[in-house]
């Protein structure tokens, strides 16, 4: 079966998603299929890798775990049964501190931190659709990295709603309410990409 063989206007569940063996990577957002961008460009990969490395080193003696895409994050609303899950995402990075949410297929439930490194082709999806489902699911922090602008915004969940940080840029130090003691120097993160 290929992606072209199915009706993309239908509503699907994780039970459907789990059976698919498409060449293209897809995500489900509220039951709707979203094709993922083609292979990420070099800048996206390098920034994702650098953030992963910093988080992984920080979490070395910490019970929290960090995962890099492709890694399925299933966001159930009522039931954790495959047929009842309508949102399955593959964030660029996610940090999970409640290890009971991990199983052999990925994560079931909201990660504590989700990091998305945006590409020009997926900004609308990241900023609208994923924002809504991450907020509804209870993701504590949603980091949005804008590589070409060399900036970052952190949405922190407060009383069930995301509250944005100011626009963070070179010279700023990123900290996390979820990971006390963690810091990420954006000058270091974006250094070497002046001509990108």
Q: Is residue 113 part of a domain?
A: yes
Q: Is residue 119 part of a domain?
A: yes
What is the domain-level CATH number for residue 140?
3.90.1570.10
**Count of domains forming the chain:** 1
Task: Assess contact for 188 and 150: CB atoms under 8 A.
Answer: no
Q: Is residue 52 part of a domain?
A: yes
Check residue 3 and give its pLDDT: 83
Q: Which domain holds residue 120?
A: 39-190
Check residue 24 and give its pLDDT: 81
Q: Is residue 195 part of a domain?
A: no
What tens digit of pLDDT does each residue of 83-122 get? 999 999 999 999 999 999 999 999 999 999 999 998 876 6
Mean model confidence pLDDT for the chain: 91
**pTM to 2 decimal places:** 0.91
Check residue 8 and give its pLDDT: 84
Regions of the chain where pLDDT drops below 50: 196
Main-chain phi, psi angles of 26, to 5 degrees: -130, 160
Check residue 125 and give its pLDDT: 64
């Amino acid at each position: 079966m290929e992606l072209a063989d199915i009706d993309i206007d239908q509503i699907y569940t994780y039970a459907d998603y789990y059976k698919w063996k498409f060449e293209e990577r897809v995500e489900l957002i509220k039951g709707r299929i979203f094709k993922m961008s083609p292979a990420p460009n070099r800048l996206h990969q390098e920034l994702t890798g650098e953030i992963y490395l910093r988080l992984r080193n920080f979490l070395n003696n910490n019970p929290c775990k960090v995962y890099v895409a492709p890694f399925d994050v299933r966001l159930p609303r009522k039931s954790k049964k495959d047929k009842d899950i309508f949102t399955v995402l593959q964030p660029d990075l996610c940090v999970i501190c409640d290890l009971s949410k991990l199983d052999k297929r990925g994560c079931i439930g909201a990660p504590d931190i989700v990091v998305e490194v945006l590409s020009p082709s997926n900004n609308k999806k990241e900023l609208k659709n994923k924002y809504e489902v991450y907020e509804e699911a209870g993701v504590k922090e949603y980091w949005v990295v804008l590589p070409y602008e060399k900036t970052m915004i952190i949405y922190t969940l407060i009383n069930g709603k995301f509250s944005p940080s100011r626009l963070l840029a070179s010279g700023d130090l990123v900290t996390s309410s979820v990971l006390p003691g963690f810091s990420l120097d954006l000058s270091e993160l974006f250094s070497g990409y002046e001509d990108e």
